[in-house]
Structure 1
Amino acid sequence: MRCPFCGNEDTQVKDSRPTDDNSTIRRRRQCPNCGARFTTFERVQLRELTVIKSTGQREPFDRDKLARSMQISLRKRPVDADRLERVVNGIVRRLESSGESEIPTAAIGEIVMDALAHLDQVGYVRFASVYRNFREAKDFEDFVGKLGEHE
């Protein structure tokens, strides 16, 4: 692992332990060149995933981008970070075990919408407003109205 401070190619692992949900290994590392300490996380990846954007462009799946978009939707909401992490891990496992290596953004968006609907209603509406491209207040009214019908 390359040192993020000096770029040295050889760093030493000082401590390894699983995270609370046992889905990731947390490693404390130290650079013998500059002495800096940093943390890395290692997780299982079942397959390389490619996202097919609505424009047809392809790009590698980015787990952190998925987590960030969900965090933005849940900003200032009473959702525990560990719970969100478990949901993100579940979505990634679902995508990796789907058997497909190329996944359209629309499919990912629907999976995220489903997960947020069960996690936090406000986060669900926030995500939907961007994902479904709400243009005016009426779009919110219609969406929230349909949400009330399903309860």
Structure 2
Amino acid sequence: MKCPFCGAMDTTVVDTRINEDGDIVRRRRRCLNCDKRFTTYERAEIRLPQVVKKNGSRVDYNRDKLSASLWLALRKRPVTTEAVDGAITRIEEKLLALGEREIPSEKVGEMVMRELKKLDKIAYVRFASVYRNFEDVDEFSHAVREVTPGKPVRRPRDE
């Protein structure tokens, strides 16, 4: 590890500690040239796939954007931050498990809808109405029937 003070490559590890979650290693180092100490952090690099949008453009996966979409659908709904964080973590775990370098935005949207359906039915319908771009009342009522207990779900005719 290169010393940030003098640029020497000769450093030694003085102390190593792992954080509470066990996902970050903190190392105290000492430069053998200038004798100054500094701290480095080590964590696993996780590469989530790029998201391929409907227009064909590619963007890096963005946890903040996913979180903002969920919170927009959940606005004024009684869902805890922990529940939303759990949903985001489950979506990211599924994305990683796919092992793909790219994923269509539609697939991410479907994952979001499945999580919202578990979290809050109203938020699910809100998100679905925008995501699926409903063009008539029948499509909207179908989404409502999907989350209404005891009601039979019939697909719209053109599906």
TM-score (norm 1): 0.67
Unaligned runs of 5+ in 1: 1-15, 26-41
Alpha-carbon shift at residue 132 of structure 1 (Å): 0.3
Q: Which residue of structure 2 lines up, in the alignment, with residue 72 of structure 1?
A: 72
Q: Measure how far apart 1:97 and its partner are.
A: 2.0
Q: Does 1:86 align with 2:86?
A: yes
Q: Is the 8 A contact 1:49 1:102 kept in 2?
A: yes
Structure 1 residues 119 and 44, CA, compared in 2 at 3 Å: closer, same or farther?
Answer: farther
CA contact (8 A) 1:23 1:43 kept: no
Secondary structure (helix, strand or coil) at the match of 1:71 reads: helix
Task: Give the number of equivalent residue pairs.
Answer: 116
Greater mean alpha carbon deviation, residues 95-104 or residues 134-143: 134-143
User: Bigger relative contact order, structure 1 or 2, given CA contacts below 8 A and separation 6+?
Assistant: 1
Structure with greater Cα Rg: 2
Q: Percent identity?
A: 40
SS at match of 2:98: coil
User: Aligned runs of 1:9-28 on 2, under 5 Å?
Assistant: 22=21
Off by >6 Å, runs of 4+ in structure 1: none
Amino acid at match of 1:82: E
Secondary structure of the structure 2 residue equivalent to 1:51: strand
User: Is 2:130 the counterpart of 1:130?
Assistant: yes
Alpha-carbon separation, structure 1, partners of 2:50 and 2:63? 11
Residue aligning to 2:55: 55
Letter in 2 for 1:134: F
One-letter identity of the residue aligned with 1:83? A
Aligned to 1:7: none
Aligned residues of 1:46 and 1:97 also touching (Cα < 8 A): no
User: Deviation per CA, 1:37-68, whole angstroms, max 9, x where unpaired?
Assistant: xxxxx986521420000111111111110111
- Residue of structure 2 in register with 1:11 after alignment: none
Aligned to 2:107: 107
TM-score, normalisation: structure 2: 0.63
Cα distance change on mapping 1:84 and 1:107 into 2, 3 Å? same
CA distance in 2, matches of 1:132, 1:51: 18
Alpha carbons of structure 1 residues 90 and 146: separation in structure 2 relative to 1, 3 Å: closer
Go from structure 1 to structure 2 and tell me whether the alpha carbon gap of 1:124 and 1:51 turns closer, same or farther (over 3 Å shift): same
* 3-state SS of paired residue (1:100): coil
